Amino acid sequence: MKENIITALDIGSSTIRSLLVKCKSQDHMEILGISELPSSGIEKGIVKDIQAVSDCVRKALEEVETVAGTNAVNIFANITGEHIKTHVGDGRISIPTASPNEPGEIDQAHVDQVINDAKNSVKIQKGFERSQILHGIPQGYVIDGQDDIRNPVRMIGFHLITKVYTIFADITPLRNLSKSIELAGYEIEPENFVLSHIAIANAVLSEDERRLGTILLDIGGGTCDISLFHRGVLEKILVVPMAGSAITEDLAIGLKTNLANAEYIKTQYGIALASSVDPEVEVDVEGIAGRESNRKTQHLVSHVIQHRVEEMLSLCYDRLKNYYTPELVTAGIVLTGGTARLQQIDKVVENAFNMHVKVAAPDLSRLNGMVSHLDDPAFATVVGLLYHAASLDRELKAPTSRAARFGTTKIADKIKQIYKDFTT
Ligand SMILES: Nc1ncnc2c1ncn2[C@@H]1O[C@H](COP(=O)(O)OP(=O)(O)OP(=O)(O)O)[C@@H](O)[C@H]1O
Ligand SMILES: [Mg+2]
């Protein structure tokens, strides 16, 4: 792979995060810029106010560009939401042979062809006309009746069959997301949208976890993104439209305070397991719109949080339960997303699923530069987008210098200094 710039853009319901890196190889990337800003105009993965989303995208990308001194090109962004659909279908091809009774050798082009055959067969089915394929994940191959083949390249056969798990996004939410990036003044190729689940898995899951079976659960602001891995492959994805924002809203109602104060109390004093909270401790609660403030016990705060977390997990469990048995998920649950920062949430998840739970931050071994800020479960998506982009065998655009747009370097220097203070 040629040395290149990759820009990862995680457009979340609560936060927009961007990383701009110089990619030297799949395993060696240098961070040139990081940005993290509150997002607005997007809820549960769906654009609700295109101008607001595009303003956030522009701010986030301008910030990384300024720090990096280079333009944000080769943008890869995530997509999630209840509109994501999946389908399992077969692809089959004949391998060209020199003579009718002599099998041929399978190469990568044949593998790509059989996966495309499965993907395209779904596209023409009813219900998928207004969808775009995001990913086709082969679940294993069969060569002339021999099944469970993991990698058929260089093997010999007459016929190659594969079962493919195809993931689609509805065209309307996808186009609106794309348009909000264009309105911000940037370009994104249609094939550079990556399902959040796939990005996150790239950042946090080991080969062992994929093989032994894992439920990957990202609890963000608007959605719980659930992925089930088994025998090394992604077998099922689900999206539950409830996450951290619902906890904040419950706190605002339960404590009679505004959303900003509820968010502050959640992130500063929130503990997901009410039984572990000292009943004597109290917290200050601001009144709504200038009303008198008062004090509430941390136990009450915790009680409200636990109630909502349990409801959210019960929705996740109900959606997921038909697709796995505990013995297929030997590695347990891996938890990411901003809500995974909530104290003791791992214990509540453990009780709900009766499984071991690990809170995971992204693997940063392939990055150098300012990595310490990324050691956080909320950065799994944006780091995973980078890893996904770096793994593609695709021609990327050459970097272009950013300096000319500023005329003077004074603003850039100032932002660089703020950025330096923020990351050290
Ligand atoms: N320390 C903390 N304790 C509890 N909750 C937290 C903490 N830090 C962040 N959160 C919550 O995490 C959520 C945001 O997580 P994240 O940044 O992963 O979401 P997002 O990617 O913007 O949303 P989504 O993935 O759902 O579109 C918010 O609800 C926020 O309140
Ligand atoms: Mg997210």
Lowest mean pLDDT: which of 31-40, 45-54, 112-121? 112-121
Residues 93, 399: Cα–Cα separation, whole Å? 39
Ligand number nearest CA of 42 is 1
Q: What angle do CA 74, 80, 85 make, to 5 degrees?
A: 115
CATH number for the domain that contains residue 150 = 3.30.1490.110
Going from the Cα of 169 to the center of ligand 2, the distance in angstroms, rounded, reads 17
Residue 227 Cβ inside 6 Å of ligand 1? The answer reads: no
pLDDT digits (tens, 9 = 90+) for 6-16: 999 999 999 99
Question: Which residue's alpha carbon is nearest to atom 17 within ligand 1?
Answer: 338
Tally of domains in the chain = 3
Report yes or no on 225 lying in a domain.
Answer: no
Report yes or no on 232 lying in a domain.
Answer: no
Q: Residue 404 pLDDT more than 60?
A: no
Report yes or no on 146 lying in a domain.
Answer: yes
Q: Tell me, yes or no, whether 275 and 194 share the same domain.
A: no
Sorting pLDDT into bands at 50, 70 and 90, what band is 414? Answer: very low
Q: Tell me, yes or no, whether 355 and 269 share the same domain.
A: yes
Q: Tell me, yes or no, whether 111 and 21 share the same domain.
A: no
Q: Are 184 and 253 in contact (CB under 8 A)?
A: no
Going from the Cα of 138 to the center of ligand 2, the distance in angstroms, rounded, reads 25
Q: 24 φ, ψ to 5°?
A: -90, -35
Going from the Cα of 16 to the center of ligand 1, the distance in angstroms, rounded, reads 11
| Final residue of a structural domain among 312, 329, 359 | 359
Q: Where are the alpha helices (DSSP H) in 1-137?
A: 50-68, 108-123
Q: Tell me, yes or no, whether 343 and 418 share the same domain.
A: no
Q: Tell me, yes or no, whether 69 and 193 share the same domain.
A: yes
Q: Which helix (H) or strand (E) holds 219?
A: strand 214-219
| Final residue of a structural domain among 129, 154, 171 | 171
Report the pLDDT averaged over residues 89-102.
94
Question: Which residue's alpha carbon is nearest to atom 20 within ligand 1?
Answer: 12
Q: Which pLDDT value is given to residue 202?
A: 97
Ligand number nearest CA of 266 is 1
Q: Which pLDDT value is given to residue 315?
A: 98
| Final residue of a structural domain among 171, 191, 220 | 171
161 or 123, which is more confident: 161
Q: Indicate whether this model's pTM tops 0.85.
A: yes
Ligand number nearest CA of 16 is 1
Residues 176, 170: Cα–Cα separation, whole Å? 10
Q: Which pLDDT value is given to residue 409?
A: 37
> 358: buried, middle or exposed (CB in 10 Å: 19+, 13-18, 0-12)?
middle
Domain that holds residue 259: 238-359
Nearest to 367 by CA among 161, 202, 171: 202
Report yes or no on 222 lying in a domain.
Answer: no
pLDDT more than 90, % of the chain: 86
List 294's β-bridge partners, or say none: 285
Q: Which pLDDT value is given to residue 396?
A: 74
Report yes or no on 242 lying in a domain.
Answer: yes
Q: Which pLDDT value is given to residue 1?
A: 56
Q: Tell me, yes or no, whether 300 and 333 share the same domain.
A: yes
Report the pLDDT averaged over residues 332-349.
98
Q: Tell me, yes or no, whether 243 and 339 share the same domain.
A: yes
Q: Are 289 and 260 in contact (CB under 8 A)?
A: no
pLDDT digits (tens, 9 = 90+) for 280-289: 999 999 999 9
Q: Which pLDDT value is given to residue 121?
A: 83
Residue 113 Cβ inside 6 Å of ligand 1? The answer reads: no
Q: Tell me, yes or no, whether 178 and 162 share the same domain.
A: no
Nearest to 52 by CA among 40, 61, 62, 35: 40
Q: Which pLDDT value is given to residue 402?
A: 65
Q: Which pLDDT value is given to residue 418?
A: 42
Going from the Cα of 422 to the center of ligand 2, the distance in angstroms, rounded, reads 22
Longest dimension (CA), the chain: 88
| DSSP string over 249-270 | HHHHHHHT--HHHHHHHHHHH-
Report yes or no on 217 lying in a domain.
Answer: no
Going from the Cα of 37 to the center of ligand 2, the distance in angstroms, rounded, reads 13
Other CB atoms closer than 10 Å to residue 148's CB: what's the count?
8
Q: Tell me, yes or no, whether 127 and 152 share the same domain.
A: yes
Lowest mean pLDDT: which of 3-17, 140-154, 242-256, 386-400? 386-400
Going from the Cα of 218 to the center of ligand 1, the distance in angstroms, rounded, reads 10
Task: Count CA within 13 A, CB hemisphere, residue 203.
Answer: 31
Helices (H) and strands (E) in the chain, counts: 12, 21
Going from the Cα of 121 to the center of ligand 2, the distance in angstroms, rounded, reads 31
- Pair of tokens at residue 236: 């099922």
Q: Which helix (H) or strand (E) holds 217?
A: strand 214-219
Q: Tell me, yes or no, whether 193 and 258 share the same domain.
A: no
Residues 89, 100: Cα–Cα separation, whole Å? 28
Q: Residue 274 pLDDT more than 80?
A: yes
Looking from the CA of residue 377, the nearest atom of ligand 1 is: 18
Residues 102, 264: Cα–Cα separation, whole Å? 70
Q: Tell me, yes or no, whether 255 and 374 share the same domain.
A: no
Ligand number nearest CA of 345 is 1
Report yes or no on 389 lying in a domain.
Answer: yes
Q: Tell me, yes or no, whether 286 and 352 share the same domain.
A: yes
Q: Which pLDDT value is given to residue 341?
A: 98
CATH number for the domain that contains residue 29 = 3.30.420.40
Residue 243 Cβ inside 6 Å of ligand 1? The answer reads: yes
Q: Are 186 and 61 in contact (CB under 8 A)?
A: yes
- Pair of tokens at residue 309: 């977390």
Q: Are 271 and 283 in contact (CB under 8 A)?
A: no
Report yes or no on 354 lying in a domain.
Answer: yes
Q: Which pLDDT value is given to residue 423?
A: 44
Residue 297 Cβ inside 6 Å of ligand 1? The answer reads: no
Question: Which residue's alpha carbon is nearest to atom 28 within ligand 1?
Answer: 221
